[in-house]
Amino acid sequence: MLNFLQRFGIFCFLDNNEYDFDKSYDCIAGAGVIQSILSKPTSSLKEIDKFIEVQQDWIFAHLTYDVKNKIEDLHSANPDKIQFPEYLLFVPEIVFILNKNELQIGACKKNPDEIYKAIISSPISKIKKETVPVLQSRFTKEEYIDTVKKLQQHILRGDCYEINFCQEFYANEAVINPLNVYKKLNKISPNPFSAFYKYNNKYLVCASPERFLKKTGNTIFSQPIKGTAKRIFSNVKKDETEKEKLFNSEKERSENIMIVDLVRNDLTKICIEGSVFVKDFLKIYSFPQVHQMISTITGTLKKNVSIADIFSATFPMGSMTGAPKKRVMELIEKYERTRRGLFSGTVGYINPDGDFDFNVVIRSLLYNQSNDYLSLQAGAAITFKSDAKKEYEECLLKITAMQQALE
């Protein structure tokens, strides 16, 4: 099916890799465009509501981190060489749903049998002169450590409590086959919110372990990640020790608790009073590369709350900003050296009933095929107690799987 999708200028493929994360489908994909709405400098999130109301159909979408500027009085002036539009929603020509190895084809005017035959006969995607990109960093280790110390001074002054500080690793003149890289990454690091997304000549190759928001009926929940520990597959006992250390870490627990409070506050803006609660608190999940500390916050939506209302109240996700949200986004703009774009944004789908599921775009490669620019970003939560050297090492740990997929 992935080979078949290559013929479309726009497609979105989402795979949960058989994790049991309140999943609706094993895999879901939308390909081609019947109708779409693209962000403009003057557009607002309310236009998303109008589009959804008119279409009442399957819709796939992305929102970049820079949608924050439509929610708060903020701006983005750092360079962006990937250049995804701030948001895009599209009604696909074809919807693919895979459950228990059974493929369903919907929203398609063509004969499904013809689609099945086309999938089976789709050629393998090839590219000439594929190269192994040489990654560079926007920060030296010393510059990163110095910046973390500056951010800790902001925390000491009371500007913020926690800030997610990200750095970019990039390559110019990178010639890659995005599909092959996605297949390798998904084999190395199969995660529950992985995505392979194409918008014309721009690609997202994503191995995210994190859900942003899911809505089913009038119930909504978020699953922020804060707290990371490496896996040690060569020694089961040591691997379990790393897991226990993560659970008992005062620093990691405090980071997660701060974001839980932020998400609870966001959800109370759109949920019935008294309905927001923490379902799973500081739970440790193990993934192929790392152990993660995840909490689940759920609530019951008020009547007549629209998708634009939901995103306005909750986006960007607290796990990728910090607290208080607006102030840390100002500091992110000041101290980071590239625009985040789709990194720290979200990709997902909305079904005809208005239910939806969106991920957090982390552990991802972003690639602009028109200018051969490749970008990987990684972040760490900075608190006053953070060890800058360890935070730098955490960033390197988080890009390991992507580096391996490029080799």
CA distance 319 to 315: 10
3-state secondary structure of 283: strand
CA distance 122 to 2: 9
Catalytic residue among 47, 210, 242, 255: 210
Task: Give residue for tokens 């629209």.
Answer: 306
Query: Rounded to 5 degrees, what are φ and ψ at 192?
Result: -75, -15
Cβ atoms of 227 and 252 within 8 Å: the answer is: yes
Query: Rounded to 5 degrees, what are φ and ψ at 400?
Result: -60, -50
374 has which bridge partners? 171, 367
Q: Is 210 a catalytic residue?
A: yes
DSSP assignments along 26-75, one per residue: SEEEEES-SEEEE--TT--THHHHHHHHHH-S-EEEEE-GGGHHHHSS--
H helix intervals, 223-286: 236-248, 250-268
**Diameter over CA atoms, the chain:** 65
Cβ atoms of 219 and 300 within 8 Å: the answer is: yes
Rounded to the nearest 10 degrees, the angle between the axes of helix 250-268 and helix 307-314 is 140
CA distance 47 to 36: 11
DSSP assignments along 217-235, one per residue: TTEEEEE-EEEEEE--TT-
Catalytic residue among 70, 198, 215, 226: 226
Cβ atoms of 231 and 291 within 8 Å: the answer is: yes
Q: Is 255 a catalytic residue?
A: no
Residue positions annotated with a catalytic role? 210, 226
